[in-house]
Structure 1
Amino acid sequence: MPKYLVHFAQVHNEFRIPELQSIAELHGFQVQIVENPGGHGSDPNRPFMVLQLDDEKHAKILAQRCILIKAIYEFYAQGTTYAELHQQNQLPEIRVEWQKYVEDTTFKFFVTGYNHKIPQRRQREVIESFSYMGFLGKIDMKNPEISLICFEEYDEDRKLATRAKHEGDSQFKQVYFGKLLAESSARPLVGVFDVKKRKYFGNTSMEAEVSLLMANQTMASPGKLMYDPFMGTGSMAYPVAHFGALVFGSDIDGRQMRGKQGVEGEPGVMRAAKQYGVQNRILDLATFDITHNPWRTGGMFDAIITDPPYGVRAGAKRLGRKRELSERQKELCRLHRENPRPDDTPYIPPTKPYELSHLVEDLVLFARYVLRPNGRLVFFLPTVTDEYEEVDINTMLCEGMEVIANSLQDFGAWGRRLITIRKTTAEEYPPPAFRERDQQPNEDGVEPTEQDKHVPAHKDFREKYFQGFSKDKAMAPTSLPPVPK
């Protein structure tokens, strides 16, 4: 199988392999990661990775769709020294790859370093060391037919130390050599969907790069139907629609989707969709609570993509009252229903807090009902770093659903995990009955399950966040500051 060198952007390192695998699955091919000497081939923190693919067109597909890829190269050789690299580059099976360009191909040759600036003098020395390749074509630095490149990878921690210019030059960890195949056409989308340039956004809007990564995890493509049950300002809908999918959105609070409507009374989400030319792919927007949803049939959606509210900027809510009405209040409500006033304002149903661990369990049950077989649920889950365990994710699963990716965006004391869950069953399930969890265990006569017994790190996340993740403070009830709006 041909080998290809991938150059990654140095962000969201844990998201790289899941994104590669999702795009490969979408287009029906497999990606095999080649182990570097020392077994570091699949290390997601390194900027370079060597892949085996069946066809060159598969490499170009990855460059066209993967947000975290900067460029892909036809891979020739690598080594911990240039002597090792040259020896590998002159092997018969490698030589035949570059010899076809020797006779009359215009070319450019450059040398660059990761975490290090290579002096021009040594760049020339490196280029001259490849003289055995004997290229006869003209050098063209502006529009060459092929571009050859050497990447020298230096230790990550070198950038933290104060050192003299070019100190440690040539003391690289690994050097790679290859021919440019395709620069990323997906990475510029980060600028296209920049939230600061968007016509409608809010303080809970997801940053562009992450929403694009989430869209790739759903394997969005033309002909697919996606759903965001916590739509908000629509950050996930725009990249999904850009990749060709149709989107339906809902939220318990319709004001987030509407925003301050313009002269034509158009919702904010649709105004932003027009900005990106995807308004025809936003099917509709609706206001309802997913625990009281209108879906009367399941198996409709190819994916659910969402960022559930977890209480840092906006708390999750569900329909219901925080306290039961007194008998007197119930009687007044009954009388009001029987004798409504003609000038009365519309009824706004009351809401109550929706604890995060309960929300995600219900979300998985809901996804199993509305997703098609092999459909995906993609969402962010905040967790406390010191308390997180792998079993935390399993507490939210139900029969017929499995986790296929779990990537951490680390913020220090806490982080948020991009969870991808796949529906593995073709069985049709009835609409889920979202149980109330306000009462103590066994009060409703139901024995606690294993999920109820385990306390995941994301339980009561809002309280832990505002208490600074202190275990001592978490044990004692305290008054919380107001949630930022």
Structure 2
Amino acid sequence: MPSRYLLHFAQAHDDFRLPELQSVAELYGITYSLPPREEDRDPTRPFMVIDLEDEEHARLLARRCILIKAVYEFYGQGSTYDELHEANRKSEPLWTRYVEDTSFRFLVTSSQHKIPQSRQRDVIESFAYMGFLGKIEMKNPDILLICFEEYEDRKGTTRAKYEGDGSFRQVFFGRLLEEGSARQLIGKFDVKKRVYYGNTSMESEISLLMANQTLASPGKLLYDPFMGTGSMAYPTTHFGALVFGSDIDGRQMRGKQKTPGVIRAATQYGTASRVIDLATFDVTHNPWRCGELFDAIVTDPPCKYGVRAGAKRLGRKKELTDHQKELCLQHSLSPRPQKTPLTLRYRDDQPYIPPTKPYELSHLAADLVLLARYLLKPGGRLVFFLPTVTEEYEDVDIYAMLCEGMDVIANSLQDFGSWGRRLVTIKKTTAEQHPPPSFKPPQVEDDQEVHVPAHKDFREKYFQGFKPKLEEEEP
């Protein structure tokens, strides 16, 4: 029979909580049930009661979920203390085993509020009917009983110290089962403590959330097509996965020392052996000759903040004329000059740097989905960030980039006001093999209506301050 457990969420990234819970549960094969009432499964609230088959499942969630602060054995809740005590008496079989000789501590706390010491004492004394006979231990008790008062979010308001005390939304009661150890990884992977990072390295908490969305675990093979400084590689390899990375600009991965920067940072975390290799190539001119290689693709395309250089792909901004192409062909077929002293070096001796052109974000996202369908194993996941304009965004923007056999299973928003980043998780639901994508823009007929997503030309919109373009005045 399922038992009930109380989840205490960290006060950050509330839109990411349920997708992470679902992903970690799928990773460990955990069956869970959310509260039946929509109000009780609101992800913006700091507490949620779920049903689980086994206590060990609750401990696994606490050890892996980044956004879970702690898990409690649930005894009761209510909008008043009378309702709470009534529910707690019905849960008597759960806590009577601790009555006789178990040391304990009783704690009364709240969210968004500070409770006066005098009322905390009154609340503790109201549980006297439980009749605990063990020793009260404040430092290392055998069990910790906690009473949570949930208050409305009061951010941005000025109030007295104890204003509104007792006007809580709900009060929860339970026994601490396990504190969330996964949140300690945020400090471990802190970018500021990393031996190698760049000015666009992903913050540690977000990269850990992305790793959980990939279901990273030992034996999994992951790919990052926009590796950069490797922020996605470190948490995924920490969870046991093997990672291959590539980027059109190898300098980001290598750094300026002999040992590549990504390898040096992975060595810092003790996971360098799980970084299979790094390669420099354009994802639209990739060397993959067979598909269904990877369990997941996790990446942050080079437009997460939509600024700086933006995404690039091989090609010229302006196509060569026929005459220019003929000159290039003649030059490539002409005999090379003999070796000369360094002081008289020819231009032909210099390394060739292929030209690049901008890679428009909406095209990049659609191509990334096609590439994922080709490279992922059936059931594999594509996890990536997509910046969007808040006022223009519609759900159809995400679904418009999908192709047959690829389905969205999570779409979480990190809101920055006028724009936001969406962590999109897409699952490959087909077992059919597909050819490699051509990466050519789709042909659109003149009378065909084309949906324009909010992330199209995002970089230009960012520099304009997300203001609509002024129509040119007629002469």
TM-score bracket relative to the smaller structure: over 0.9
Contact 2:374 2:436 in 1 (8 A): yes
Contact 2:363 2:441 in 1 (8 A): no
Structure 1 residue 218: Cα displacement? 0.2
Structure 1 residue 165: Cα displacement? 1.9
Alpha-carbon distance in structure 1 between the residues aligned to 2:130 and 2:396: 54
2:225 aligned with 1:229: yes
Structure 1 residue 476: Cα displacement? 6.2
Contact 2:109 2:148 in 1 (8 A): yes
Structure 1 residue 333: Cα displacement? 1.9
Structure 1 residue 449: Cα displacement? 10
2:120 aligned with 1:123: yes
Q: 2:309 aligns to what?
A: 314
Q: Cα–Cα, structure 1 residues 283 and 351, in superposed 2: closer, same or farther, change >3 Å?
A: same
Query: Identity of aligned pairs, percent?
Result: 69
Contact 1:20 1:31 in 2 (8 A): no
Gaps of 5+ in 2: 340-344
Alpha-carbon distance in structure 2 between the residues aligned to 1:448 and 1:316: 28
Match of 1:104 among 101, 105, 111: 101
Q: 1:198 aligns to what?
A: 194
Q: 1:58 aligns to what?
A: 57
Alpha-carbon distance in structure 1 between the residues aligned to 2:328 and 2:145: 77
Query: What are the equivalent positions in structure 2 for 1:126-165 lying under 5 Å apart?
Result: 126-157=123-154, 159-165=155-161
Alpha-carbon distance in structure 2 between the residues aligned to 1:42 and 1:476: 49
Q: 1:167 aligns to what?
A: 163
Structure 1 residue 368: Cα displacement? 0.1
Q: Deviations over 1:205-225 (max 9, x none)?
A: 000000000000000000000
Structure 1 residue 123: Cα displacement? 0.6
Q: Deviations over 1:264-301 (max 9, x none)?
A: x1011111000101000000000011111000000000
Q: Cα–Cα, structure 1 residues 184 and 476, in superposed 2: closer, same or farther, change >3 Å?
A: farther
What is the TM-score normalised by the length of structure 2? 0.94
Alpha-carbon distance in structure 2 between the residues aligned to 1:365 and 1:449: 25
Match of 1:269 among 256, 262, 277: 262
> Counterpart amino acid of 1:316?
A
SS in 2 for 1:90: helix
Contact 1:67 1:209 in 2 (8 A): yes
SS in 2 for 1:78: strand
Q: 2:21 aligns to what?
A: 20
Alpha-carbon distance in structure 1 between the residues aligned to 2:383 and 2:66: 16
Alpha-carbon distance in structure 1 between the residues aligned to 2:30 and 2:425: 20
Structure 1 residue 306: Cα displacement? 0.2
Q: 1:209 aligns to what?
A: 205
Structure 1 residue 254: Cα displacement? 0.4
Q: Cα–Cα, structure 1 residues 62 and 196, in superposed 2: closer, same or farther, change >3 Å?
A: same
Q: 2:283 aligns to what?
A: 290
2:431 aligned with 1:434: no
Contact 1:203 1:313 in 2 (8 A): no
Contact 1:111 1:126 in 2 (8 A): yes
> Counterpart amino acid of 1:112?
T
Alpha-carbon distance in structure 2 between the residues aligned to 1:404 and 1:309: 23
Contact 2:406 2:426 in 1 (8 A): yes
Alpha-carbon distance in structure 1 between the residues aligned to 2:76 and 2:111: 17
Contact 1:384 1:469 in 2 (8 A): yes
Match of 1:415 among 400, 416, 420: 420
Q: Deviations over 1:67-106 (max 9, x none)?
A: 0010010000000000000001001xx1000000000001
Alpha-carbon distance in structure 2 between the residues aligned to 1:324 and 1:413: 36
Contact 2:292 2:376 in 1 (8 A): yes
SS in 2 for 1:427: coil
Q: 2:46 aligns to what?
A: 47
Q: How many residues are matched?
A: 460
Q: Deviations over 1:92-135 (max 9, x none)?
A: xx100000000000101010011111111111100000000000
What is the TM-score normalised by the length of structure 1? 0.92
Alpha-carbon distance in structure 2 between the residues aligned to 1:386 and 1:109: 47
SS in 2 for 1:188: helix
Alpha-carbon distance in structure 2 between the residues aligned to 1:101 and 1:315: 60
Alpha-carbon distance in structure 2 between the residues aligned to 1:396 and 1:89: 50
Q: CA RMSD in A?
A: 1.6
- Runs (4 or more) in structure 1 with deviation over 4 Å come to none
Q: 2:464 aligns to what?
A: 467
> Counterpart amino acid of 2:381?
R
Query: What are the equivalent positions in structure 2 for 1:170-189 lying under 5 Å apart?
Result: 170-189=166-185
Alpha-carbon distance in structure 1 between the residues aligned to 2:389 and 2:40: 29
Structure 1 residue 329: Cα displacement? 3.0
SS in 1 for 2:394: coil
2:217 aligned with 1:257: no
Alpha-carbon distance in structure 2 between the residues aligned to 1:296 and 1:239: 28
Alpha-carbon distance in structure 2 between the residues aligned to 1:234 and 1:350: 24
SS in 1 for 2:98: coil
Q: 2:73 aligns to what?
A: 74
> Counterpart amino acid of 1:26?
L
Q: 1:95 aligns to what?
A: 92
SS in 2 for 1:432: coil
Q: 1:397 aligns to what?
A: 402
